[in-house]
């Protein structure tokens, strides 16, 4: 189905706002307000991907931290970036966080709750959309997760 990614991200952020406030984490959402960000994908599943990434960015942030969600588009793609300034992920863990049940620092993660499935689901959903998840992270500085989906023209007159 066709939808505007901006609307999905606004909904997810709205839903996670309380959780962020409890930790005194500020969520900023950057996108060009004059633009639309249409794509064709399974909306519920992309909602889930966004929810997992943004909820991780809150959960693994420090109190008073910030989460930046950035939506941009290039010629063919809508690009979503979720950036946090939390503790970051060591390089040796980075390649394993997409495995089911894999968690960095087991005890610490357990304290925070969850099952260690979020990113495995993210990866699975994006692969089913012929897309993928990218991550870059620096210990002590934070992480950036990103994915892209095909850009769709706003109007498809010939289909109406």
Task: Sketch the per residue contact string, 109 through 138, with Mg ion: x for CB under 5 A, - otherwise.
Answer: ---------x--------------------
Give the shortest CB-70-to-Mg ion separation in angstroms.
20
Select from 4-12, 15-23, 54-62, 65-73 the region that touches Mg ion (CB under 5 A).
54-62
d(CA 106, CA 153): 44
Select from 11-19, 48-56, 90-98, 99-107 the region that touches Mg ion (CB under 5 A).
48-56
The residue within the footprint of Mg ion, chosen from 56, 61, 73, 78 (CB under 5 A), is 56
Q: Does 51 bind Mg ion (CB under 5 A)?
A: no
Closer to ligand ATP by Cβ: residue 49 or 151: 49
Give the shortest CB-59-to-ligand ATP separation in angstroms.
6
Q: Long-range contact list for 70-76, CB < 8 A, 24+ apart?
A: 70/29, 70/30, 70/31, 71/5, 71/6, 71/9, 71/29, 71/30, 71/31, 71/37, 72/31, 72/32, 73/35, 73/37, 73/151, 74/151, 75/151, 76/150, 76/151
Enumerate binding residues for ligand ATP (CB under 6 A). Answer: 52, 56-57, 60, 84, 86-87, 89, 97, 102-104, 109, 114-120, 143
At residue 145's C-alpha, the angle toward residues 141 and 148, to 5°, is 150
Closer to ligand ATP by Cβ: residue 39 or 52: 52
Closer to Mg ion by Cβ: residue 115 or 136: 115
d(CA 12, CA 111): 24
Q: Does 86 bind Mg ion (CB under 5 A)?
A: no
Q: Long-range contact list for 153-160, CB < 8 A, 24+ apart?
A: 153/38, 154/36, 154/38
Give the binding site for Mg ion (CB under 5 A). Answer: 56, 118
């Amino acid at each position: 189905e066709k939808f505007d990614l901006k609307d999905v991200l606004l909904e997810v952020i709205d839903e996670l706002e309380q959780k962020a406030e409890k930790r005194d984490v500020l969520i900023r959402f950057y996108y060009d307000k004059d633009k639309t960000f249409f794509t064709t994908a399974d909306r519920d599943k992309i909602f889930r991907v966004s929810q997992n990434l943004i909820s991780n960015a809150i959960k693994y942030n420090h109190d008073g931290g910030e989460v930046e969600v950035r939506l941009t588009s290039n010629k063919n793609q809508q690009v979503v970036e979720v950036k946090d300034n939390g503790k970051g992920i060591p390089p040796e863990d980075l390649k394993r966080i997409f495995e089911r049940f894999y968690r960095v620092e087991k005890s610490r993660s357990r304290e925070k709750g969850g099952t260690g499935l979020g990113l495995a689901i993210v990866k699975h959903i994006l692969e089913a959309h012929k897309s993928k998840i990218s991550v870059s992270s620096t210990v002590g500085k934070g992480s950036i997760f990103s994915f892209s989906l095909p850009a769709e023209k706003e109007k498809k007159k010939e289909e109406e």
